[in-house]
C-alpha cells in the first residue's frame, strides 16, 4: 500500500490508523509525530515531506528506510540557523538497511547510526560520500 499525501492534505494526524503495510510517505506538509506510523511497518520510503521528522516519528519496527529523491530534512539550531543535516537519532535502532537516493541533506558522521548494517547509495546522487561518514561496520553498496 502506498500513502501519498499531496501538499493540500489536511489531517494525517487525525487519521485513526495507518495500515502497518504502508510503504511511501511523500508530498505532505504536516508533522509526522510519534505514534502516527504504527509499530509493524517494516519498510519506509520517505520522499519530499515538508516537515522535519522528529526522534521517535519512525517506529522501531522499521527495518529498511529509503531516502528518496527530494527528501529534505532541515534542522533549525538554537541560533535560528537552518542546516541541511540528517539529525542523529531520526533513524531508529531497528533499521538495518538504509538506501540513499539524491537527497538534499548533508551526511555527517553522526547521522548514520552504528546499528545500520548496510547502506545502498544510488550512483546518481550529487553528494560526495566521504569514507569517514560511514561507520566501519557497515557494508556499502552502490546501485544504478
pLDDT tens-digit profile of 31-69?
Answer: 777 887 888 888 888 877 777 788 888 889 999 998 887
What is the model's pTM?
0.77
Question: For cell 499525501, what's the residue?
Answer: 5
Spatial separation of the C-alpha atoms in residues 120 and 108, rounded to whole Å: 16
**Which among 117, 112, 118 has a CA at the least distance from the CA of 133?**
112
Spatial separation of the C-alpha atoms in residues 136 and 30, rounded to whole Å: 36
Taking residue 101's Cβ as centre, other Cβ atoms within 10 Å add up to 19
Please count the structural domains in the chain: 1
pLDDT tens-digit profile of 67-120?
Answer: 887 777 665 455 555 555 667 778 888 999 998 887 767 666 677 778 899 988
Domain region containing 137:
1-144
Amino acid at each position: 500500500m502506498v500513502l501519498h499525501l499531496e501538499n493540500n492534505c489536511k489531517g494525517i494526524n487525525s487519521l485513526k490508523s495507518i495500515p502497518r503495510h504502508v510503504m511511501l510517505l511523500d508530498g505532505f506538509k504536516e508533522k509526522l509525530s510519534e505514534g502516527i506510523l504504527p509499530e509493524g511497518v517494516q519498510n519506509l520510503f520517505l520522499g519530499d515531506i515538508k516537515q522535519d521528522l522528529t526522534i521517535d516519528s519512525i517506529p522501531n519496527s522499521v527495518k529498511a528506510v529509503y531516502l528518496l529523491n527530494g527528501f529534505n530534512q532541515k534542522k533549525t539550531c538554537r541560533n535560528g540557523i537552518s542546516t541541511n543535516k540528517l539529525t542523529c537519532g531520526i533513524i531508529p535502532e531497528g533499521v538495518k538497511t538504509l538506501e540513499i537516493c539524491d537527497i538534499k541533506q548533508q551526511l555527517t558522521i553522526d547521522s548514520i547510526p552504528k546499528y545500520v548494517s548496510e547502506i545502498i547509495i544510488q550512483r546518481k546522487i550529487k553528494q560526495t560520500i566521504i569514507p569517514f561518514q560511514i561507520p566501519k561496520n557497515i557494508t556499502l553498496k552502490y546501485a544504478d
